[in-house]
């Protein structure tokens, strides 16, 4: 896999889930086994906005070639994905989210592993 492909994957996932949470927060919250109350829906929409922002960022930087910019972006996304992985893992293991929460665990783990690979194992590989 190339870094460009990882950015595109992140863009598609971020934008897709982001639009879902922004426009259909009750449906998305309920899909994960949570009660679609107004406060959860609002947080779902805010989460959607942030996912869209990450998706757009990844789309816009998919062709970036500046090594310093690549390293900075990968490190920021790696940290965010590891934090997301921890949060969604705790939420799923504690029963706050149902089994669909494991999809979030997988997504965050794959993205974190990808950014760690390009940032630390194969730095400089586009």
Residue 24 lies in a domain: yes
How many domains are contained in the chain? 1
Identify the pLDDT of residue 123.
74
Task: State the residue range of the domain holding 37.
Answer: 3-121
pLDDT digits (tens, 9 = 90+) for 10-27: 999 999 999 999 999 999
Q: Report d(CA 73, CA 68) in Å as an integer.
A: 9
Residue 108 lies in a domain: yes
Q: Model's pTM, two decimal places?
A: 0.92
pLDDT digits (tens, 9 = 90+) for 37-65: 999 999 999 999 999 999 999 999 999 98
The closest alpha carbon to 60, from 94, 108, 14, 92, belongs to 14
pLDDT digits (tens, 9 = 90+) for 62-76: 999 899 999 999 999
Residue 46 lies in a domain: yes
Identify the pLDDT of residue 125.
59
């Amino acid at each position: 896999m190339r870094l460009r492909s990882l950015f595109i994957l992140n863009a598609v996932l971020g934008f897709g889930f982001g639009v879902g949470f922004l426009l259909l927060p009750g449906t998305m919250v309920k899909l994960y086994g949570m009660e679609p109350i107004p406060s959860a829906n609002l947080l779902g929409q805010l989460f959607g906005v942030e996912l869209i922002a990450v998706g757009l960022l990844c789309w816009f930087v998919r062709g970036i070639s500046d090594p310093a910019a690549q390293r900075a972006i990968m490190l920021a996304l790696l940290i965010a994905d590891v934090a997301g992985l921890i949060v969604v893992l705790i939420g799923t293991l504690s029963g706050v989210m149902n089994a669909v929460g494991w999809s979030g665990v997988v997504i965050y783990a794959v993205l974190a592993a990808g950014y760690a690979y390009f940032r630390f194992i194969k730095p400089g590989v586009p």
